[in-house]
């Protein structure tokens, strides 16, 4: 690793992503899920997706700091930034590169896995997530009830934001939508990264809100949705019966018998979140979870 803080350290927002890579002395490694975002225009736009919705920016969380190209932009937006970086060498580089900001108590670097470390009490997260664990990280962040601007593989992002009865609609759409209004705000070409990934990427903005339906228990609802979508090509009638080992129902037949016959004849991809909630309430009452 080369470099370190200089007397004339750059001001936040002025660091060049290619120069950061050079100073860190690293190259992305696809085998380790490392693809560094190096397109200045994309990096400059990412914070704007939070300011467009007047998100609270007093403490921004970034997961997967890399060499700090996005960190640099976030420091122009936020009062404080916390970065979680699992690579020890990159975490050490961030501490060197941003020593001034750390000393001023504007930046904290946490070395560790974002699935394991204790998350700070952040007000907003803007992150280019490691794609291999993006789902797990997203569902660690969504229940925190904070605005999120997150980058995913494009296919994953489109499934998160999909409407019922579309090809992309599925478990991910329902479970993400349980916590927030989710929208794809930008697609990102492969060439914006070094090295380019095999697929296109997309930026998702999630605005927290309460769902427009009631469920008896969040965990049961999400397990129930997950269960029936494992058999999305079967009717809801068969899916409910066949997945009791996942949903935890003791008496799935009682649920099927008590539910609306027309709903039970549909496939999961044609069932709206509100209808899933209604069915989950029924299952909670008669299925003995």
Do 133 and 116 touch, CB atoms closer than 8 A?
A: no
> Is there a binding annotation on residue 113?
yes
Between β-strands 124-128 and 59-63, what pairing exists: parallel, antiparallel or unpaired?
Answer: parallel
Do 56 and 26 touch, CB atoms closer than 8 A?
A: no
N- to C-terminal Cα separation, the chain: 54
> Is there a binding annotation on residue 200?
no
Nearest-CA neighbor of 152 among 171, 174, 137? Answer: 137
CA distances (Å), 30 to each of 27, 112, 193, in order? Answer: 10, 19, 11
Give helix then strand counts, H and E, for the chain.
15, 9
> Is there a binding annotation on residue 210?
no
Which tokens hold the place of 193?
């990264």
Q: Who's near 224: CB < 8 A, 6+ residues apart?
A: 247, 276, 279, 280, 283
> Is there a binding annotation on residue 178?
no
> Is there a binding annotation on residue 85?
yes
| Neighbour tally for 197: CB within 10 Å | 17
Question: ∠85-89-92 over CA atoms, to 5°?
Answer: 75
> Is there a binding annotation on residue 40?
no
Give the SS3 label for residue 124.
Answer: strand
Per the annotation, where are the binding residues for S-adenosyl-L-methionine? 35, 37, 64, 85, 113, 128
Per the annotation, where are the binding residues? 35, 37, 64, 85, 113, 128
């Amino acid at each position: 690793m080369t470099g370190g803080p200089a007397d004339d350290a750059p001001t936040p927002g002025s660091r060049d992503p290619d120069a950061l890579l050079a100073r860190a002395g690293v190259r992305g490694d696809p085998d380790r899920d490392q693809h560094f975002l190096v397109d200045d225009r994309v990096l400059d736009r990412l914070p704007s997706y939070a300011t467009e919705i007047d998100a609270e920016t007093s403490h921004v969380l970034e997961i997967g700091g890399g060499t700090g190209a996005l960190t640099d932009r976030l420091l122009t937006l936020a009062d404080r930034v916390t970065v979680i970086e699992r690579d020890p060498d990159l975490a050490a580089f961030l501490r060197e590169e941003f020593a001034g900001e750390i000393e001023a108590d504007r930046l904290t670097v946490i070395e560790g896995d974002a699935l394991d470390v204790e998350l700070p009490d952040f007000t907003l997260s803007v992150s280019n997530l490691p794609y291999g664990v993006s789902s797990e990280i997203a569902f660690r962040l969504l229940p925190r009830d904070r605005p999120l601007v997150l980058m995913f593989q494009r296919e994953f992002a489109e499934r998160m934001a999909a409407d019922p009865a579309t090809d992309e609609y599925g478990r991910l759409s329902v479970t993400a939508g349980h916590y927030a209004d989710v929208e794809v705000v930008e697609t990102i070409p492969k060439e914006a990264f070094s090295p380019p990934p095999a697929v296109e990427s997309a930026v998702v903005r999630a605005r927290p809100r309460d769902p427009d339906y009631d469920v008896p228990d969040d965990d049961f609802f999400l397990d129930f949705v997950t269960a029936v979508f494992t058999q999305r090509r079967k009717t809801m009638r068969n899916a409910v019966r066949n997945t009791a080992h996942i949903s935890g129902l003791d008496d799935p037949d009682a649920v099927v018998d008590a539910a609306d016959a027309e709903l039970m004849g549909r496939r999961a991809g044609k069932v709206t979140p509100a209808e899933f909630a209604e069915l989950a309430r029924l299952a909670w009452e008669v299925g003995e979870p």
